[in-house]
Structure 1
Amino acid sequence: MTTSPNADTESNDGPCIRRQEVVADLGQRALETDDLDELLHDAATVVAETLDTECASVLELLPGGEKLRLRRGVGWSDELVGTATIPADSSSYAGEALRAAQPVVVEDLDGDDRFSDSDRLGERDVTSGLSVSIGPDERPWGLLRTHATDRRAFSDRDAAFLRSVATVLASAIENARTERRFEAIFEDPNILVGLLDPDGTVLDINGTAMEYIDADLADVTGEPFWETPWWGEGDQARSDVREWTRRAANGEYVEFETDLTRPSGERYTIDGVFRPVTDDDGDVVSIIVSDRDVTERKERERYLEDAKAQLEAATEAGAVGTWEWHVSEDEFVAGASFARTFGIDPEAARDGVPLELLLSSIHEDDRDRVERQIETAVENCDEYESEYRVRNADDELRWVVARGHVEADDDGNPETFPGALTDITDRKQAELEAEKQRKQLETLFQVLPVGAVVADADGSLLTANDTAREIWGGDVFDARCVDEYAKYDAVWADSEEPVGPEDWTMTQVLRGEAVTEPNVYEIDAFDGERRVVMEHGMPVTDECGEVTRGVVTLTDITERREFRRKLEESNERLEQFAYAASHDLQEPLRMVTSYLRLLENRYGDAFDEDGQEFLDYAVDGAERMSEMIDGLLAYSRIETRGDPLEPVDLETVLDDVVDDLQFQIDETDATLELDALPTVEGDVSQLRQVFQNLLDNALTYHGDESPRIAVDAERRGEQWELSVRDEGIGIAPEDQERVFTVFDRLHGQEEYDGTGIGLALCQRIVERHGGEIRIDSERGEGTTFSFTLPAVE
């Protein structure tokens, strides 16, 4: 129902002017206030006063459009304002007013049967009503209404007045909406926003933008936008901003993207727009600059471009192929790389081939499995992944992995099946080789002649081989942590001190220590035997250096220790025998020598030439016999009477030897070339004897030319190799082993003096130091003696 059919017969212009003044005043307040609810209340108040009605209300249409809520009003109880609702469906009085283009008048709410309810709020007894929609007809915000308790016919002027007030409210509501949207945009933490005068002067900048510079809002307000810190010091960016501002001031919508720098030096990219704001006449009154930090997006785009390029390169290289199978048509469309992998003509694959053609290229042992996987994926419209072998165009067998997913139509029927194929031949061959090696290592682990035990990083024993179980007398490697190692009963073999859980080699290894100098324990095995065990260990670490496993080897050295003990006893008895023998032999030799000298001194004149020769032979033989006995005693004492090994400066040792041999060096006119020598672990007196014997040999066996002798050193891992080189008579290859045999001489006494024990002593000393000695020689080409000694770390 629209306005009253009764013509407005008022002729007095006074009330009309008054109503215009009320509307104007309300409009002015709408411009000045930022409190919408206060304005709505004032509007309801002036409507009730002006139209002389008991009730007036502003109703807001709630989301969904089914109800209206009493937003503000007069004449209603306070508890109803802000909470009470009425229906807004088309059969109600309110619903009709919402949808009508003109104000709707009802003279008798109780007697009007055209609406589904009386449309009352609370218990207030109202009879007549006048309603008008607020906002555009196609999308109203709500209703402005007034009600009278007596029956009343509202005039056209009443309806026009109410319509004018509703228009003011609609404008205020829209302004409030616009302001809220602007505030929401202006304070958006993801958007940089600035408000400029048309000449480019900064009016306001939001907090998000201010975080990008080292300045306060007051520092940039009133400044030309292009001279603010966002644009840096470069002329190009500033001139661009000035140009963008000019274009926006002329009404142009200017989009831009530029790279900038934070005060910290960090580079970033923004993307945005200069948006002109115009008045009703189309004149630009301000400029809004809004932009976003798109640094991450740009980096992601660059990453995707790189990834695309890499994918294209990989596809071109034949490493990756793609496909799309149109299920219902059975057309399998694939790229050239995919087609070549399956031995299919690329042109045919581009147009589409039956799936069976591809399946026929799959290795016969894999084909049925792949078919079942494809069928399952199609039936369930699910993901698909399969690894198998395929023969390519060159009849080579390649390993591939295929991944895809089935896409369904709106009815759930399989439609397309796209995917990608990757050639994993190299990886698969590496895996197969690794598996082969793993099995070989497992076999080796079990057949090792030494025991082997592996533990996890927390000390839990994972596995042990048969030899380890034999050593410990059973399958007893079930400890779950280091503390449980206490069940393994043992003492240190040398000190007989008890071995605690923290003393075991495995515990040291799990701490990251490499046990290369073996630990030796005497254990009480679980089979009742007592054994001596030697253990080495090594940690296994990851790429970060963290210990992930521990490996320990065990060697049963019970028999070896017993043999060593007996050998030591035998050596001790041998030394005692050698000492006693040398002592007992030296006495009669000294007596024989003394009497021969006495005989020569008293009766030398009585001997003829032959007698004197015989006497000289006898004295010389006795003296050589004494030297041999002294050499034998020294040889027997190399192991037992040597000093502990300690750092020895070989430079000092060699200088002392050269000093001792200086007479012989001068006598033979020898030339010595001595390189710098290192410090080694050794027995200083024994190493002096080695150099003494080798240099003496070189000075003795020099041939016709004056001796030329060189001594040098070279580092080889954890050892030094020392060499003594001469240009003397040399040694034939077949005689080179003989020179290290005690008393085995290559030359007669009439050619060269000596007992034949010097090189044997050298070999014994070097071996005591854990090294080796060798000969490199040719007859007449000189000789090089090389020997190794432990380096000092």
Structure 2
Amino acid sequence: MTLPRVYTDSFPFLQGGGEMGQLTRQFDWSKTSLGTPDTWPASLCISLGILLNSKFPMFLYWGPDYICFYNDAYRPSLGITGKHPAVLGSRGEDIWPEVWAFNRPRLNAIMAGGEATWEEDQLLPIYRNGKMEPVYWTYSYSPVKDEKGFIRGVFVACTETTQKVLTVQQLAVSEQRFQNLIRQATAGIIVLIGESLQVAIVNEAYARLVNRTVEELLHHPLFEIIPEAADPFQTIIQGVMQSGDPLYLYEQPYQIQVESGSMQGFLNLIYQPYREQDGTITGVIVFCQDVTSQVQAQQELLNKSRDLELALTIGNLGSFKVDLVSRLSIHSQPIVDWFELPSQTYLLDEVFQLIHEQDRARTIQAIEDSIAGKQGGYHDVTYRVISRQNGHLRYLHSMGQVLTEKGKPISISGIIQDVTPTVVSRQALEESEAALRDAIELAELTTWTIDLTNGQMYTSEKYARKFGLSHTEISLEEAWSMVHPDDRGHLTRLWEQSLSPESNGRFEAEYRILNAETSQPLAIQVIGQHYRNAKGEAHLFLGTARDITLERELQTTLENEVQKRTEELAAMNEELQASSEEVVKSNEILSTHLEEMTQLNRLLHLSNDRLKQFAYVASHDLQEPLRKIQAFSTLIEKKYADRLDEQGLTILSKITKSGEQMSTLIQDLLAFSRLAVDQDEKMIVSLQRVLARVLESLEIRLQETKADLQIDPLPALLGDESQLRQLFQNLLSNALKFVKAGEMPRIHVYSQLITSADLPPELQTVLKAPRYYRISVADQGIGFEPQYAERLFEVFQRLHTRQQYKGTGIGLAICQRVMENHQGAITAESEPGQGATFHVFFPT
């Protein structure tokens, strides 16, 4: 109930305090064990005055019932829906049942005279936003004493750190993956830290290279373990640390002491400075590959490692309050520093202008929505600001609550947190995980994790798909049931060896696994690593799996084929020795056939020469009179057009058009005839490049028609580039020509690799290659009747008059001749009004 005005004015400590101050004044305290405010001790009054007007999140438990008070800054931690405002005036045990078993002993200890406490990143799940949420807190409990020194309550100052804790946990998992990736790398990797060059990270590959164990090297100065390698490597490493520049060495000689004496060889080396977050160089990362046996075939090391920096600290908090009447915003000093404001009081709309332009509209909308009453008047938004002094980017997370009076919004109270370290760390985590996923995908690996504490196996999505699992979490019993029965004994021995105390925990095996869905056996190669807890017990097993079924099948097939060919060669050798006389006779017959082929080849060359001569005569003798007709008709049109009547002009126009049609016809006939004799040497031709050149020649036509043209990736194949341009020039020209009235052309060019069994039935007896590229040109034009599909490719065959569509009727005949020259074929399919699709088939 609302206290009388005079009653409220008698207690200044209840004045102000924003929303929580108003709720505290309106609360009926007579129904609580505290009684009305006029009976409250001074220590409670003073504590409430501080709490309600503080900009830092605060909470107060009072009396033996632990009656609850909190301020506006603490309010956002209760979420949008849930305990607010029910917490106010409630007994702690009633309002916090989910955490009371944890909080009660600590509160009792404080009330009994204990010292103040401090808890950092403590998990205390609470009910908010309509559900139980795992929430992490950093907070302190402090005793509140009355005038006589008796402890009457517990004062709580707190900050929610959930996001920070979750980010740190994610970074820890990423770091473990990074360490595992280094350990399983085939190249030697070692990280040296400090002036003593102490080994911080090292993998098995490097340990084997220097004839030591990982345990002998780890956490020791490197050159105390292998002093014989100090010259020249120690000087090289120190030089990299001093200069900060990476160093690449190829065919670098090295010498290592072994039991039998010394081991010498050559290394390819990469030295990379190891930098902290502030850029300080504290060590060197060394990548090394033994290239002793490949000195003449140097390989550049491809393995590059990025160091994950764990540099996440608790973000600073700043508070703000906005007067929605004057639009003035009052900020604490951290916010003033972040926004580089001239004073703590600043117009809200001017503050908005300091937000990054890409985030500004979204942020303004979120805050204006909260003012309009959406989301319960609460806003929660993250945005960026750029320092005007140094250009640095800062990420800020703002949470606030609109306070109302008589149903009208009057102010906003909230906090802003600098979450830059969290965001930067999350981005680094995402980049690292993306790089890890890319590396795994590139190596065609699947990943898995076995938790020995709960007997569960967790797999990647790729692992589940490949081996027929419906989900990515299975029991070890189910995983074991998938192992081929004949391989279980061998796998058990390797597993037990990797778990033995003498083992380094590495596990490598090849065995068969039964697909969970089809029961098909698959051969896999597994590489994994056991990890032990503080008690030395193996509790986690991480690794990769690779499907090597095809490799093993090919190996078996090759061995069988070698055996078979060996036996066949032995038999053939006997047959060859027994048939030497037949070979002599066959050579005589072959000699006769060669003479006949020589004669036929001479006649063929003679025929081609004559055909070329005809093409020249046609080009010169047929076109010369035609050129004169066109020249004279043009001359008549220029000089005598004004003397001709309408009929004369019509006749002259027909002469000109007929001349143009005749010229086009002669050019097409020449192109058709040349295809029979002009056979250039074939070479690998990119159809993508051929289409690009065709589109250049059709550029004006494409622009005029506004054609919608889609060209999918096309293959490269053996062919004559000039003829292939003719082929696609004609096909695309037809698709642009035969369109429905009033519509723009829509053309799709695509390809597919098919086997001979996928050829049209009429081509299966003609084409003999085992595989073909099928290139299709599909349009949405006028189409044609299916019975004309073969007639289209005959010379001078047309389905429409020249008045409807221009053309000579030779273009598709040229396309068919081009495909014959390429030992392929062309087909067409269509329905009237449904467009047409032309398929060309090239042997691979």
TM-score scaled by structure 1?
0.31
Structure showing greater radius of gyration is 1
TM-score scaled by structure 2?
0.30
